[in-house]
Amino acid sequence: MTNGPGPRSAPRLEHWTHLVLLGGTVVSAILLVVGLALAAAGQGAVLHLHPSGPSAWDVFSHAQDADPATIALELGLLALAATPVVRVAVLGIGWSRQGEPRFAAVAFTVLALLVLSVVLGVR
Amino acid sequence: MPVSSLARFAILIFAGVGTGMLGAVLGIGGGVFLIPILVLGLGLPMHQAIAVGLLSVVATSSAVASTNVERGTANMRLAITLEIATSLGAIAGGLAAGRLSHRALEGLFAVVVVPAAIFMWRGRAGHSVVAAGSSTQNPAPALGALGAEYFDEATGTMVSYRVRKLWAGLGIAFVAGGLSGLLGIGGGVFKVPALHLICEVPMKAAAATSNFMIGVTAAAGAFLYFGRGQVPLAFTATVVLGVLAGSALGSVVNRRLGAGAVQKLFAVLLVGASLQMMYRALILGE
């Protein structure tokens, strides 16, 4: 710890939040690179405009019929979208353990709202 | 004239890099600039462009916030408090999407953004700065439950601040969330001025906190598009990879920029966004 002004070392919860965000983006990036490479290897031109395709849930429910590139890209983008959700859950758990029930309750409320939005979207 | 795949790839990558850099420096997701490039430049259908925009916002937010959280510039307690309002707004916006035209919202956006740009350009005389030197583990009581402090590398000083007018901030966060759900943007163009001008959060902390928040808002909307099969996978993947690269570059640039430069840059971009949205609303009729 420094005596004067200077960069501080990150408290534990901030560090875990940093790891969740960083980990989510890294996992997503790897899957996306793999997916694009598979698509390029299999089809040549990958950036064609086309109408909307099947929903992500349909792709995974019929995974045996989907090509590897599609699955990798879907997984990569879903991992990306899930990263902020996991971040909120980590904050809720972290504040609970730190004895900050007010902020923990706020975090779990936000998590519930996110789950609600997913449910409303699927319906 | 058809755009070749190689040209598309290049446009998408550079658009992503630019979006990521904007996010790192200004605390916005960049969707408000990315979507017109996709629609006007590449002919992507609007609903697919919105999906790309939302996931790009998530990418920008996650990549940049991971650094800001470590540095302490992102105020996590303030962000999670405001996220209740943005999440509610995003849900309300998503449910209302079928009843309001995008044209009406784009015109409203263009009108509302201009006063914010003027205020941002002028800046403020000061903010609620409390004497520095308090422990980051036990912030001084004068900072309040949502106040915080961070080390500003550009000035070499510790900056402490207290959050004011939280209820006004919550109201604007709700509106920003609603617009995110309707237009596919992160809402940072509203949240950053609100945090800085109304809640009196220093500009760098306002940008970092907004960037931290917009990922949650955009993720809520993105799941809806996954469910409808409206995410163009290869397009989105290419833009997202560009965004991640741009975010890394932007984080390096941001450390060396003074708060005043960030503020004025944001004001200029707000005016550009306003003109662009007015063009879409009045001329394109989208």
ipTM for the complex? 0.83
Residues of A in contact with B17 (CB under 8 A): none
**Residues in chain A, total:** 123
The vertex-B90 CA angle with B105 and B103, nearest 5°, equals: 15
Question: Are the C-beta atoms of B145 and B175 separated by less than 8 Å?
Answer: no
Inter-chain touch B241–A74, beta carbons under 8 Å:
no
pLDDT in tens, B123-175: 654 444 444 444 444 445 567 888 888 888 777 888 888 898 999 999 999 98
Q: Determine the distance in angstroms separating the CA of A108 from the nearest CA of chain B, rounded to an integer.
A: 10
Flag if B69 and A18 touch (Cβ within 8 Å).
yes
CB contact under 8 A, A54 and B229: yes
Nearest to A121 among B47, B83, B224 (CB): B224
The tens-digit pLDDT sequence of chain B (286 residues) is: 455 777 888 888 998 998 888 777 766 777 777 877 787 778 777 778 888 888 999 999 999 888 888 888 899 999 999 999 998 888 887 777 656 666 776 677 677 677 667 766 776 544 444 444 444 444 455 678 888 888 887 778 888 888 989 999 999 999 888 878 777 777 777 788 888 888 989 988 888 898 899 899 888 878 877 777 778 888 899 999 999 999 888 877 766 666 577 667 777 877 887 787 777 778 766 4
A66 vs B contacts (CB less than 8 Å): none
How far CA B45 is from CA of B33, B42, B49, B97, in Å, comes to: 16, 9, 6, 17
Q: Does pTM surpass 0.95?
A: no
User: How many CB pairs lie under 8 A apart between chains A and B?
Assistant: 188
Tell me if B154 sits within 8 A of B255, measured CB to CB. Answer: yes
| Residue A50 with chain B: CB contacts under 8 Å | 232
How far apart are the C-alpha atoms of B191 and B182, rounded to whole Å?
16
Which tokens go with B106? 């784009």
Q: How far is CA A18 from CA A34, A85, B38, B47, B186, in A?
A: 24, 14, 31, 32, 20
Nearest to A39 among B90, B231, B234 (CB): B234
Structure tokens at B118: 């003027």
- Partners of B152 in beta bridges: B157
Q: Which residue of B has its CA nearest to A84?
A: B216
Query: Which of B31, B4, B25 is closest to B249 using CA atoms?
Result: B25
CA distance B210 to B180: 13
Take residue B100 and report the two structure tokens written for it: 């309001």
Separation CA B37–CA B272 (nearest Å) = 14
